Structure 1
Amino acid sequence: MAAPHVLALPFPAQGHIIPLMQLSHRLVEHGIEVTFVNTEANHTLVLDAMAANGAGCPSLDGIRLVGVPDGLAEGDDRKDLGKLVDALSQHMPCYLEELVGRIEASGGTKISWLVADEGMGWAFEVAKKLGIRAACFWTGSAAFLASMLRIPQLIQDGVIDEKGWPKRQETFQFAPGMPPLHTSHLSWNNAGAPKDQPAIFQLVVRNNEAKDLAEVTVCNSFGDAEPAAFKLYPDILPVGPLFADVQFKKPVGQFLPEDARCLEWLDAWPDRSVVYVAFGSFTVFNPHQFEELALGLELTGRPFLWVVRPDFVAGLSKPWLDEFQRRVGDSGLIVSWCPQQQVLAHRAVACFVSHCGWNSTMEGVRNGVPFLCWPYFTDQFQNESYICNVWRTGLAVVRGADGVVTKEELSGKVERVIGDEGIRERVGALRDAARRSIAEGGSSHENFKKFVELLIIP
């Protein structure tokens, strides 16, 4: 009998591609063939980054990488989520059908399963049309998924209107033990410009309906992290925290080349001494906030490793940055991208100044690193609430009246996070729980085995 052939389809954003690629590597270990489908734009980014890192082959130990059009024109802004989700829904279903047809016409193994991001709900409809079994992959927290699945209830309770906007300002919980969430932080209202909100909210509603076409939903979380959420939605299978391999050597679909020299730089510093700063693939700062952050890191007097993407800030004075780097010297290293899992696993890292994306959150949790939370959009505010209010493994920055986090606020909170023995103890306990879950016999390990069995059994 031929090995099962899975078509893996992420939402076209860095934070969605990485965990599905990690899951795909794990599936390959169990004899499952994977064709990983990126949009053409992202496919090019991934291949270029792999080539720069010395791994340029479009086939990765059983994972075949392919690209399909996303429906946008060459010059369109693919970080405009409203425009992106509209193009995906309109154009990608036919491209996905064509891809399946080409794979089968070429004599390749017939596609037996689609494992698609919940954010690509239209793909489950394509799978049903083609007679392909479907599984839903959720890249965020179970609490985040719960917040979207509860939209009808939120409307009925008068918390939001039928367009998704809050009808009142309040903090609420879906169940005791779940992260408190303020109505101003609902994900679909914090995913870009207000003009894009209607398209994004309608996408969420459609995805919730299409998700029911999948036979199972798996997510990158673990039971002890979110017991209340999994009690609320027991059909969601947590299989995380995900990682591709214990040596962190397998490519996971990064868009930018990883600057591995930071690992040698970290080797020179004592245990729990370095402040690691990274804000993911979407966060953008204005020059004033960037400068305050830089000055705050300098003010700590601690060594720091700071990830600054090429598009992280626009309009910054190069002479200012050059002078800053001259002042901090070897005690501060700025890179454009880094192997984050290896960084967070390094003994020298003392805390993580983070946007609280769920991948970063799970990576920090698994490596026992306390957080200083600085969320930017979508689910990151809810993740911050988990870290600060439920797990109590970090603190949050507070913006001033002008919306700016000052250098004094940053440096003061860094010292509090690093110096808090209670945070350190809770971080260690949550790390141990995460590692137990993915070890032999752990809850996530057993859930992953169930998932693999479902994919393998005809």
Structure 2
Amino acid sequence: MEITGKRHVSVFIFPFASHPFILLNLVRRLASAAPAVVFSFFSTAKFNRAQFTERDCDNILPYDISDGLPEEYVYDGKVVEEAQIGLFLGVAEEEFKRGVQVAEKDVGVRVSCLVVDAFLWSSGDLAEEMKIPWVAFWIAGSSSLSAHFYTDLIRQKYDELKDSVGPDDEIPNLIPGLPVVRLGDIPKEVIFGDLESPFVTMLHKMGGAITKATAVLVNSFQELDPDLTKNLSPTFNNLLHIGPSNLVSKQNSPSKLDKSCCMSWLDTQNPRSVAYVSFGTVCTPPPHELVALAEALEEGKTPFLWSLNNDSKKHLPSGFLDRTSANGWGKIVPWAPQVQVLNHCSIGVYVTHGGWNSVMESITAGVPLICRPFFADNLINTWMVERVWRVGVRIEGKSFTKHGTCGALQVVLSSSSDNGLKQRMEALKDLAHKSVGPNGSSIRNFKTLVDVTPECATPNGRPYSYGELFVANALPNSTALSSQSAVVITYCRMIYLTAYPRDMFMTGKLLGKHKLLFLGEEEFKRGIQGAEKDVGVRVSCLVVGAFLWFSGDLAEEMKIPLVAFWNAGSSSLSAHFYINLIRQKYDELKDSVRPDDEIPNLIPGLPMIRLGDIPKEVIFGDLESPFATMLHKMGGAITRATAVLVNSFQELDPDLTNNLSLLFNNFLLIDPFNLVL
């Protein structure tokens, strides 16, 4: 084929539920914004056949990958989706690797970036092998992302509490950034169910690997969950909220026309009077709940539009369909154009399973929700709807009953209700639309994504990532420092080293006779410009004392890698990295403990520590001083470094090392300097 561009991005799909549709919509936006970039799109043959009947974007090329099912397999309804996911995961890594090789040969341009569903954590290993950046797309919200990112911490806290709490208990500070959450609303893959299943294992590994991505995209807008966003942002290289997808996606015409005349029927109803009922394509309440829901709608004579598959209609009460349709206040259809329906002025409430897409579509339409969650993120989304944003209610008793459903409909639809629910929903709707308006946060973040993705290449055309996996290649093991430094200098061409005076001696020895410049904070930018002029070579890497957290911003601005050197041990690094968590735990305990008390699990990876032995900058002293502020900011920023070096050896603190290794792109203990220099 003839290629007009010089960039090639590969896209990896998780081919289940709504995942492939949402990522395809993102790719269409990217393809439109970067027409000179070729996007090779990898999904199952079934999905590709359905979505690429017409080529709406010439620079998106579909490639089929196996779904893992045996060729002779005929679906008989006995393989549940989780089993299908396990089969797919068993072949996915090799399928994507093979597919990239085929696409590179077809396109004639080497892949220079991966854009992947965040579930496919192993894509990071492939990106590292190919020495290219990768972008992970989380198609849901910040609360579920936080739950999976903090899985180990949540499991640890649950192990401490499990003998004294139940699913209905509300637990404070279980998820950082969320003041309280109901234990039963944590996704079951985090603390309940089969924690060894392929799907749960995938989610657990994703939580550890996702920090290594060049960017993490979230299908939300950052104003929705500011505390969760603030907590997660320092942990990722680029955390970019680019949604809601239904407001920003480059959509084709609806694949199904409104054959059931939903919109014309809604035109006959009073404003804000209709209950729209839909549970997505995966969830259907059990028969007895369908009966209870139908009885509640009929009891209150609530006008309704219900999207219900034909197989489930047989479970409805006898005569229900005839009575409601004859009276003109009820309509059941096999499919409804949901976004258009929710934006109709007659819709007053959305009765839903609480899936993320449904929640976002309801918020952007300004329609309050009644949630009956089933699984996955439905539960934590429902918690956010009812208790955090307060724009809807949960069905009483966890399932539909006639009494509970009547009560929920009354709370939301009653014109006399003065609970502020509708006003809060309107406020969220306004924030959502502003985020995708001119200079809105999601639009700015999308522009950042466009910069990160197709333009990730060095001046000579070689694919470039924020660090080019610099230390992963240069320092794969704790080999002789002389050879390490030679590789570093050769690979980066010129290193600009910044450090506080106490670090100068050791880092000076590390790089030996090579030209080093030591300048004060205020002189860094000016100094680099002068150095580049003197040396005649552009700075292509920063090696810094870890205290200098702001160097990460400079490296990002210059689009070069950053290596942070922690001139101490893993225990003090952990104390500063987990500073927010430690302060939170201390606030809970401070009235009952003293400096001499030993506190269990105060620092992840350290079973016990004396409270008074925590560095004073973490919980004691003047926490607003410049030095304490610097250390606090460092703890949040250091995860963005291409590599974090520690002046220790990994056998000394294996538990701390294992814990920290999951959080950094490359966590390298490079031995005690007194032995190796």
Residue in 2 that maps onto 1:124: 124
| Correspondence 1:17-416 to 2 at 5 A | 17-32=20-35, 33-44=38-49, 46-47=50-51, 56-57=53-54, 59-60=56-57, 62-73=59-70, 74-75=73-74, 80-107=80-107, 109-159=109-159, 168-169=165-166, 170-172=169-171, 173-174=173-174, 178=178, 180-189=180-189, 194=193, 198-234=197-233, 235=236, 236-243=239-246, 249-250=252-253, 259=259, 261-309=261-309, 313=312, 317=314, 323-329=319-325, 330-399=328-397, 404-416=399-411
Q: Distance in 1 between matches of 2:388 and 2:436?
A: 21
Specify whether residues 25 and 265 from structure 1 end up closer, same or farther in structure 2 by C-alpha distance, changes over 3 A only.
Answer: farther
Deviation at 1:271, TM superposition (A): 2.0
Letter in 1 for 2:66: P
For 1:348-379, what per-residue CA distance to the aligned partner results, in whole angstroms no more than 9, with x for missing partners?
Answer: 21111111111111111111110111111111
For 1:40-67, what per-residue CA distance to the aligned partner results, in whole angstroms no more than 9, with x for missing partners?
Answer: 34445x34xx8xxxxx425556444443
Secondary structure of 1:28 counterpart? helix
1:22 and 1:243 in contact (8 A); partners too = no
Letter in 2 for 1:389: R
Q: Distance in 2 between matches of 1:167 and 1:75?
A: 47
Specify whether residues 123 and 59 from structure 1 end up closer, same or farther in structure 2 by C-alpha distance, changes over 3 A only.
Answer: farther
Specify whether residues 196 and 225 from structure 1 end up closer, same or farther in structure 2 by C-alpha distance, changes over 3 A only.
Answer: same
Q: List gaps (5 residues or longer) in structure 1.
A: 51-55
Deviation at 1:406, TM superposition (A): 1.3
1:354 and 1:374 in contact (8 A); partners too = yes
Letter in 1 for 2:14: F
Deviation at 1:141, TM superposition (A): 1.1
Q: Distance in 1 between matches of 2:241 and 2:159?
A: 29
For 1:51-90, what per-residue CA distance to the aligned partner results, in whole angstroms no more than 9, with x for missing partners?
Answer: xxxxx42555644444321112333559734423322222
- Length-normalised TM-score, structure 1: 0.85
Residue in 1 that maps onto 2:446: 448
Match of 1:2 among 1, 5, 10: 5
Letter in 2 for 1:145: L
Secondary structure of 2:224 counterpart? coil
2:113 and 2:453 in contact (8 A); partners too = yes
Q: Distance in 1 between matches of 2:242 and 2:62?
A: 23
1:3 and 1:31 in contact (8 A); partners too = no
Deviation at 1:260, TM superposition (A): 6.4
Q: Distance in 2 between matches of 1:108 and 1:322?
A: 63
Letter in 2 for 1:411: C
Match of 2:425 among 406, 423, 427: 427
For 1:231-276, what per-residue CA distance to the aligned partner results, in whole angstroms no more than 9, with x for missing partners?
Answer: 111142111111376895446xx7x887563222222323212111
Q: Distance in 2 between matches of 1:215 and 1:250?
A: 33
Deviation at 1:325, TM superposition (A): 1.3
Letter in 2 for 1:70: D
Deviation at 1:278, TM superposition (A): 1.0
Secondary structure of 2:74 counterpart? coil
Specify whether residues 62 and 271 from structure 1 end up closer, same or farther in structure 2 by C-alpha distance, changes over 3 A only.
Answer: farther
Secondary structure of 2:358 counterpart? helix
Q: Distance in 2 between matches of 1:175 and 1:107?
A: 45
Secondary structure of 2:178 counterpart? coil
RMSD of aligned residue pairs (Cα, Å): 3.1
Deviation at 1:284, TM superposition (A): 2.7
Mark the structure with the bigger radius of gyration: 2
Deviation at 1:223, TM superposition (A): 1.5
Specify whether residues 222 and 404 from structure 1 end up closer, same or farther in structure 2 by C-alpha distance, changes over 3 A only.
Answer: closer
Residue in 2 that maps onto 1:53: none
Q: Distance in 2 between matches of 1:407 and 1:196?
A: 35
2:115 and 2:134 in contact (8 A); partners too = yes
Q: Distance in 2 between matches of 1:377 and 1:117?
A: 20
Q: List gaps (5 residues or longer) in structure 2.
A: 458-677
Residue in 2 that maps onto 1:417: 412
Residue in 1 that maps onto 2:549: none
2:289 and 2:399 in contact (8 A); partners too = yes
Specify whether residues 246 and 68 from structure 1 end up closer, same or farther in structure 2 by C-alpha distance, changes over 3 A only.
Answer: closer
Letter in 2 for 1:348: S
Specify whether residues 87 and 123 from structure 1 end up closer, same or farther in structure 2 by C-alpha distance, changes over 3 A only.
Answer: farther
Specify whether residues 303 and 176 from structure 1 end up closer, same or farther in structure 2 by C-alpha distance, changes over 3 A only.
Answer: same
1:125 and 1:213 in contact (8 A); partners too = no
Specify whether residues 349 and 356 from structure 1 end up closer, same or farther in structure 2 by C-alpha distance, changes over 3 A only.
Answer: same
Q: Distance in 1 between matches of 2:134 and 2:388?
A: 33
Specify whether residues 353 and 160 from structure 1 end up closer, same or farther in structure 2 by C-alpha distance, changes over 3 A only.
Answer: farther
Residue correspondences, number: 436
Q: Distance in 2 between matches of 1:166 and 1:184?
A: 15
Deviation at 1:6, TM superposition (A): 3.0
Secondary structure of 2:18 counterpart? helix
Q: Distance in 1 between matches of 2:179 and 2:332?
A: 33
Q: Distance in 2 between matches of 1:190 and 1:261?
A: 42
Letter in 1 for 2:282: F
Deviation at 1:227, TM superposition (A): 0.5
Letter in 2 for 1:228: D
2:10 and 2:111 in contact (8 A); partners too = yes
1:81 and 1:200 in contact (8 A); partners too = no
Comparing 102-111 and 415-424, the one that deviates more? 102-111
Q: Distance in 1 between matches of 2:12 and 2:264?
A: 35
For 1:306-346, what per-residue CA distance to the aligned partner results, in whole angstroms no more than 9, with x for missing partners?
Answer: 111356x4xx637x567321111142222222221121122
More relative contact order in 1 or in 2 (CA 8 Å, sep 6+)? 1
